[in-house]
Amino acid sequence: MGCVTAWQVLLIVQVLAFCTANSPPSLSGKVVSRVIAKLGKNTKLQCPAQSDPELTQWKKDGQSINPGWERFKMSREGHLRIQETEMSDAGLYTCIATNGFGSISINYTVVVLDEENQLVQEADKQFKQTPNEDLSKEGSPPYFEDIEKMRESMNLVKPTGSTIRLGCRADGNPVPEIYWLKNGHPHAQSRSHSTLKIQDITEEDSGAYMCVASNRLGMVNFTYNIQIIDEIRHKPRLIAPHPLNQTVEVGATVSFHCYIESVVTPEVQWLKRVDKPEDIPNPNITLVQYKEEKFMVLKNAGILLARPENSYLSKLVMQKVQAKDSGMFVCFATNRKGFTTRHAFLDIRPGGSLGGSSGGDGLSSHMDDQLSSDFSSSISQDGSSSSGDSSEDSNLPLLIGLPSCAVLIIILLTVFLMQRSNRCKRSATNNKVTRPPVPPQERDALSYSSSQQQQQTVNPLLASREKPPKTPTPSVDMTCSEFSSVSRTHPNPHYYHPNHMNYGY
């Protein structure tokens, strides 16, 4: 190959330059869109647009900046310089870079700060500078960070002598100020903290506690309803038959429900029996041991929902379950008086459409009594044992099925006997015994035989009398089945048969 000449290099450079210019402008650097300008000082706004050739234009609040604005100067590179910045210079500035293939716009929000008087000008608003506001960020009204958690405990029942803690974490820009009201009046112990703590509470501490968070851009509030009772007399009660045993297929979603009655908000935990060592996902899991069995505490499991009349619902939801998730699950509810447990089994099959089975009837009394000391030492400091309410299997299908079958059999037998009786009556009416005609040869033989008998047995006394009438065949009382049998096999009892030489009529 020959050497590349100078004119070839120049041609390549021109082609590259043409290709580069053959595109709209683009950003050539990082843009900080919020600029803090100090009163009386010079402020510089850059326009980091890359294009050749290009046309740069600046606007303030949508109005073009022209050469008549003496304090506003634009450099050859397209940057804007504001001399001796004034409070009225605050606003929205836009740099527009244009060439023959398109344009690009870059926006700046200019905030002017009067350090001497601690005043801030943003757009058309002026406000006092505060140490809890970050001027480099856009202002925002207050909002509660844990609003869902706050709603879960908005209605509390606490015993006398205990401690209540009410959370009210809020954020915003400026950082909001927080204060507390009780029944509409300032609370003496609030001290502008995000958490209100009251120790050794009495019945007089019952009431509505409102948390208020405010800054210059707005205000939000939240109310806790607190009821203080003299004493807790009962431990939680778990309502049968929940949680229910369930049989599902791999990949399904399982939801265990645990219904609880308690005068105060109970603490609820879900446990799972460890059937095999490999069922423990990691060594940091809390374990509770009973004899030869171990139960692991499911962290962050269950959702506690308040219901009317001092009742609560705890839900354990597991999605996309696998075969290893099968086993016993225990609902463990406790308050200051003690705790109660109920359990259910989860059976996971490889496939098929399977429904849930009937509810579990809780841990056995013996097991609950033994679990009391173990669980209280590992989980609850002052819990005492209580077995779950048991439920009995129902014999309703058996009680209904047997009488129904008996009634059905009686009805069928009655219908059968009625039909049989009607059939017998019809057969007795229509079945008349007829004597078939006698063939001529047989008639002659019979006549000859009869004459011979008459000659041998004639009684002279009867010769002068009339021939006695023929005696009718006596009636026979028999069942329909017997009658039918005779009718079918011997239509005429006196009918001649070749094998029987009986010719009597």
Q: Are residues 212 and 151 in the same domain?
A: yes
Q: Domain with 147 in it: what CATH number?
A: 2.60.40.10
Inform me whether the pLDDT recorded for 488 exceeds 50: no
Would residue 250 count as lying in a domain?
yes
Among the listed ranges 226-240, 301-315, 335-349, 462-476, which one has the minimum average pLDDT value?
Answer: 462-476
Return the pLDDT at 210.
94
Would residue 341 count as lying in a domain?
yes
Would residue 223 count as lying in a domain?
yes
b/e string for 155-187 if b means 16 or more Cβ within 10 A? ebbbbeeeebebbbebebbbbbebbbbbeeeeb
Instruction: Decide: 270 and 331 in contact? Cβ < 8 Å.
Output: yes
> How many Å apart are CA 425 and CA 282, to the nearest integer?
87
Which among 176, 202, 229 is the end of a domain? Answer: 229
Q: How confident is the model at residue 401 (pLDDT cuts 50, 70, 90)?
A: low
Q: Are residues 249 and 373 in the same domain?
A: yes
Instruction: Decide: 176 and 215 in contact? Cβ < 8 Å.
Output: yes
Q: Are residues 192 and 74 in the same domain?
A: no
Q: How confident is the model at residue 150 (pLDDT cuts 50, 70, 90)?
A: very high
> How many Å apart are CA 105 and CA 102, to the nearest integer?
11
Which among 355, 378, 401 is the end of a domain? Answer: 378
Inform me whether the pLDDT recorded for 138 exceeds 50: yes
Would residue 434 count as lying in a domain?
no
Q: What is the pTM of this model?
A: 0.47
Would residue 374 count as lying in a domain?
yes
DSSP secondary structure string for all residues of 222-251: EEEEEEEES------EEPTTPSBPEEEETT
Return the pLDDT at 231.
73
Q: How confident is the model at residue 245 (pLDDT cuts 50, 70, 90)?
A: very high
Return the pLDDT at 387.
37
The total domain count for the chain is 3
Return the pLDDT at 445.
47
Average pLDDT over residues 27-51: 88
Give the pairing type, strands 195-198 and 207-215.
unpaired
Percent of the chain at pLDDT above 90?
A: 33
Q: Are residues 332 and 255 in the same domain?
A: yes
Listed residue (493, 499, 483, 498) closest to 436, CA to CA: 493
Would residue 373 count as lying in a domain?
yes
Q: Are residues 45 and 178 in the same domain?
A: no
Would residue 458 count as lying in a domain?
no
Q: How confident is the model at residue 410 (pLDDT cuts 50, 70, 90)?
A: confident
Residue 121 structural domain: 24-128
Would residue 55 count as lying in a domain?
yes
Q: Please report which helix (H) or strand (E) contains residue 179, including its range.
A: strand 177-182
Q: Are residues 260 and 318 in the same domain?
A: yes
Instruction: Decide: 194 and 170 in contact? Cβ < 8 Å.
Output: yes
3-state SS, 84-139, equals CCCHHHCEEEEEEEEECCEEEEEEEEEEEEECCCCEEEECCEEEECCCCCCCCCCC
Q: Are residues 35 and 70 in the same domain?
A: yes
Average pLDDT over residues 334-341: 85
Better-scored residue on pLDDT, 186 or 379:
186
Q: Are residues 166 and 67 in the same domain?
A: no
